[in-house]
Amino acid sequence: MRAGAFVLRAATLCALVSITSGASARSGGLAALGCDGCHSGGKPATVTLSAQPASAGVGEPITLTITVSQTNGASAGFYLTTAFDSPGTFRAVQSGTATDSAGVLHTAPRSGSGGATTFEVQWTASAATGASFDVFALSANGDKSNRGDGAGSASLSLVVGCAGQRYYIDQDGDGYGSDDPAFRSREECSAPLGYAGRAGDCNDFRAEVHPGAAELCDLLDNDCNQQVDDDVVSQLFCQDDDGDGHGVPGRATKMDCKPVAGFGACDGDCDDGDANYHPGAEEVCDLRDNDCDGMVDEDVRTSCGLGLCARRARGCNAADCTPGEPLVETCNGYDDDCDGIVDNGDSASLCGETGERCVTGRCEGGAGAGGTPGAIPTAGAGSGAGPPSEAAPEGNSASGAGCQVAAGPRDAGCLFGAALLALGSLARRRRVSAQYAR
């Protein structure tokens, strides 16, 4: 039975009772969520609901007995239904009762004796199931009016064809249900949709909150131990005046498990009066240090020129960018002439008339004995000759492949030549680096 149907029937009851003040207390009975909407003035009735047998098999009729106290008089009426959809059928077994689409109700008031009035109804399960029954009853004084009467209700749960287990409503799907009495539990053969076999969820509307959950820094009692944000590591936060989440060390501090209003990470906000300037902010060309790294407009100013002519604009206007002056291309691993190509040209132009050739930014090789300028000599068949430095005799002149360039010990000449080459290369690279950095 749906709640909407109950409400509709209750409204119908009130309408029928109000037709005439002399009408009986709805002697024909009515299916409703309660009887106190129309009947009032009396004391609440005591109502009980029992089942026999308490444990039955599928297809075996169960007798449900409703007892209504004679609190306000000997007359009584009732309406019995199931709280949830269960596979089974009702059967009216006593005179003055009848079935409707969802339960059984009285068709005429009944008078009892011994201080109580009883009714009996049968229900038979067609499959293994749990069933929850609700009965709404009325103790009436029999004066044929709706005054001086009192209502009451009772509930009963049982299982048929299984051992059964109690399940609790689980509205957030976290596997734990609420044992709040406002949300009725169910005894069933298996978990109904939206229910869980474990209770104790202290917030059944948040899946991150349930017994045994990891405690988070969120101002909630995640593990339902009645403590908020316990066992969460606290950290130091610094005063943050502009609310950008970045504070200034050396000012007020606070220990917490997450930033709170007025405090942020102690990472050195370089402008705590403007939320657009803080560590990690995007650098924009505005002549200010947006990301607090100590540099202004780095990598965001307009660039122009190629190779060693590449330059950054002096400000944020592209018109303020002037490329550097091209140089003569030499073998150094740079684009000296600013044409977008590194070390382009022949070896003679890149390395000079030395017989060397440009290899990955360095002039290498030379004319060996019988060799050709610009080529690296190779050993002839059966000559036993090795690389140029090995094939040259010790007494070679400066025009040979040897290292000696002046009178004196050969090693001293080699050291002197090596020193000159090193100084020349260093000077050239310093000049290139200085031009590129402008």
| Res 146: pLDDT | 79
112-128 mean pLDDT:
95
- The CA distance from 118 to 287, in Å, is 91
Structure tokens at 309: 């002519």
Q: What letter represents residue 123's amino acid? A: W
Domain definitions of the chain by residue range: 3-160, 233-300
Convert the pLDDT of each residue in 241-299 to its tens digit: 999 999 999 999 999 888 889 999 999 999 999 999 999 999 999 999 999 999 999 98
Per-residue pLDDT band for 112 (boundaries 50, 70, 90) equals confident
The string of DSSP codes covering 244-309 is SSB--TTS-EEEESS--TTEEBSS--S-TT-TT-STTPPP-SSSS-TTSSS-SSTTTS-EE-SGGG
Q: Which fold has domain 3-160?
A: Immunoglobulin-like (2.60.40)
b/e code 166-187 from CB counts within 10 Å (16+ = b): bbbbbbbebebbbbeeeeebbe
Per-residue pLDDT band for 51 (boundaries 50, 70, 90) equals very high
75-79, 207-211, 258-262, 273-277: range with lowest mean pLDDT: 258-262
Mean pLDDT (the chain) is: 80
Evaluate if residue 132 carries a pLDDT over 50. Answer: yes
| Res 438: pLDDT | 42
| Res 36: pLDDT | 57
- The CA distance from 110 to 77, in Å, is 7
Q: Which helix (H) or strand (E) holds 63?
A: strand 62-69
